[in-house]
Chains A and B, each alone.
Chain A
Amino acid sequence: MQVSEKDEDILSLYQKIILDHGKSPRNAGVVKQHNCRSEGKNPLCGDRVTVTAALGDEGQVLNLKFDGKGCAISIASASMMTEAVRGLRADDVRKMIQAVAKLCKEDTSDDQFFSEYGDGLGTRIEYLSALSGVRQFPARFKCANLPWQTLLSCLDGNDSATTEG
């Protein structure tokens, strides 16, 4: 069957880069010498993701991996996350977590968005902009956001996160 133009939204959600990360996730597994770990769950759909990280003395992300089961969106988001935050300081990671939530939810123009978050996070943010296809699918926001919320709870020293509540 022909993929029609009406599918624009769908095609922007399932961009090549998303499908690629969804199918061949990077940094899948467990950081052996991790000093933080958190398990995220989406109780509505049963998706789960576990994040392990090795953080440096000043909270910079030295290594980050994830292990999980979920849809293409959540796995791709987790995989891209592991690439995007590696080497960042904790405060930048927090900023990026906020940025992603905005990117996936709010109808801000790219210009606006980059002027707010571009500084410092620059190309890393640009890399993540493929996730913004989720905006047209509010029901899927939780899928994209789960890995990031799990990372946040990891940084906060909590061992679990949920998309509910």
Chain B
Amino acid sequence: MNALAYNTVKSESRVFDLDLVRQDFPILSRAVHDKPLTYLDSAASAQKPQAVIDVIRYQYEHEYANVHRGAYSLSEALTSKYELAREKVRQFINAKSDREIVFTKGATEAINLVSATFGRTLEAGDEVVITGLEHHSNIIPWQLLRDQCGIVLKIVPISDEGDVSLNEVELALTKKTKLVAISHISNALGTVLPIKEIAAAAHATGAKILIDGCQGIVHEKVDVKDLDCDFYAFSGHKLYGPNGIGVLYGKEEMLDAMPPYQGGGEMISNVTFEHSEWAELPAKFEAGTPPIVPAVGLGAAIDYLSSFDRKDITAHESDLLAYATERLQTLNSIRLIGTAEKKAAAISFVLEGAHPHDLATILDRSGVCVRAGHHCAQPLMDRFGVTATVRASFGMYNTREEVDVLIGALGRAREILC
């Protein structure tokens, strides 16, 4: 069983062969409405390779108990796998230490953790800077904080192309800026932000930076040391891992200085009714029984991805994006939303005379899964004067033929609707 390969940190290396990659994802061979599944919604959640499914199954069938608790071998075995998953994440993003990797249930929880702890150290009048293209999960936590303690929330405007310029970010920074919280890659438009430069600009004014890396971690190689970011948050389920697991990377000195997030088991070193002491990092931020098996599944997903040269995956995804962009532009009365120079793996559009939901319903009957809606980025939709778009997004397993299926299905949808 290849689940045992999990125990090594270094994974074997493979050539990126699209046919073989597709065979690794069992769901891709199923049909939807008697048509082959054409899954173009990986930005919402990615499909899972067999290796991840196997590891999860193996854990429940052979090696399941709680972590850090039982003085018996089953618990010890799973505990070491849970900690090994942390080490895999650390290597994957090149963090300095395991202590900087906090497991959460997803990116949303990771961002809320920062707003509820680091945020608690802010004072009325302090400024938090976000951009106009953020996912609701990187807007609402800061609004809640604003309403609680009077911070000022500043929004960096988006260009007509759906881009965020370093210059606009710099204009928003002041001596009162305490945090810049921005996406690495926009989930709605695919725009890639200049996060390294933004991090440097934030630091130059004395602010910290949190990067919402939900999409970024999937499509680019992330090196948190090189980026010099203070926080980097992502979810496992978009990275070909299971759902129910996310990661908050935080610089050790940041995490050390922050108060705990939730109280409970695991996060303490000593408890009396008068006074409790917090556990060491990262346990201090992992109250309660953590998502143990999902963490191990995430470790397996990282092994899977790391077995390829990431450059090959990126090149394949860029090719799909370029091809889809070119083909979509041949359709009449299409409007692409988001035409930034640097984009990754997602393309948003509207077709005149056909509402995104109607399109998505008809596409579904052709086996094509796309997202139609506001993509949890309503302010961004407002910015472009639409209530919704259709978004096709690509994973490592998508093909040019699937783009052709999308184009054909759009043509037919238009025949029905217009």
- Spell out A's residues near B (CB within 8 Å): 1, 3, 6-7, 9-11, 13-14, 19, 23, 44-48, 69-73, 137, 139-140, 143
Contact = CB atoms under 8 A, between A and B. Distances in A.
Contacts of A10: 361-362, 365, 416
A46 B411 CA distance: 25
Given A9-B365, A71-B356, 19 more contacts: A3-B415, A3-B416, A6-B365, A7-B365, A10-B365, A13-B361, A14-B417, A44-B373, A45-B387, A45-B388, A46-B373, A46-B374, A46-B378, A47-B357, A47-B387, A70-B357, A71-B355, A71-B358, A140-B357
Nearest to A140: B361
15 contacts: A1-B415, A3-B415, A6-B34, A7-B365, A9-B365, A10-B361, A13-B361, A19-B417, A46-B388, A47-B387, A48-B387, A71-B358, A72-B355, A73-B357, A139-B361
Contacts of A72: 354-355, 358, 417
A47 B357 CA distance: 10
Contact of B374 (A7, A45, A139): A45
Interface of B: 33-34, 353-358, 361-362, 365, 372-374, 378, 381, 387-388, 408, 411-412, 415-417
Contact of B361 (A19, A48, A69, A137): A137
Nearest to A48: B387
Contacts of A73: 357-358
Nearest to A139: B361
A53 to B, nearest CB: 24
A71 B357 contact: yes
Contacts of B415: 1, 3
Nearest to B354: A72
Given A47-B387, A72-B417, A14 B34 contact: no
Contacts of A14: 358, 362, 416-417
A73 B361 CA distance: 11
B381 A46 contact: yes
Contacts of A71: 355-358
A9 B33 CA distance: 11
Contacts of B373: 44-46
Among A7, A23, A71, the most chain B Cβ lie within 10 Å of the Cβ of: A71
Given A71-B358, A140-B357, A11 B374 contact: no
Contacts of A70: 355, 357, 387
B362 A45 contact: no
A6 B416 contact: no
A47 B373 CA distance: 9
A11 B365 CA distance: 11
A73 B412 CA distance: 18
A133 B34 CA distance: 20
Given A45-B373, A45-B374, A46-B378, A69 B408 contact: no
A63 B151 CA distance: 47
A69 B374 CA distance: 13
A41 to B, nearest CB: 11
Contacts of B388: 45-46
Nearest to A14: B416
Among B355, B412, B416, the most chain A Cβ lie within 10 Å of the Cβ of: B355
A69 B417 CA distance: 17
Contacts of B362: 10, 14
Nearest to A44: B373
A73 B33 CA distance: 21
Nearest to A70: B355
A70 B362 CA distance: 16
Nearest to B388: A46
A1 B35 CA distance: 15
A7 B33 CA distance: 10
B370 to A, nearest CB: 13
Nearest to B373: A45
A9 B373 CA distance: 22
Contacts of B365: 6-7, 9-10
A46 B34 contact: no
Given A46-B373, A46-B378, A69 B387 contact: yes
Nearest to B362: A10
A77 B355 CA distance: 15
B387 A46 contact: yes
A129 to B, nearest CB: 20
Closest 6 CB pairs of A and B: A71-B355, A71-B357, A46-B387, A46-B374, A1-B412, A72-B358
B34 A45 contact: no
A78 B355 CA distance: 15
Nearest to B357: A71
Contacts of A140: 357, 361
Among B34, B408, B412, B415, the most chain A Cβ lie within 10 Å of the Cβ of: B412
B372 to A, nearest CB: 8
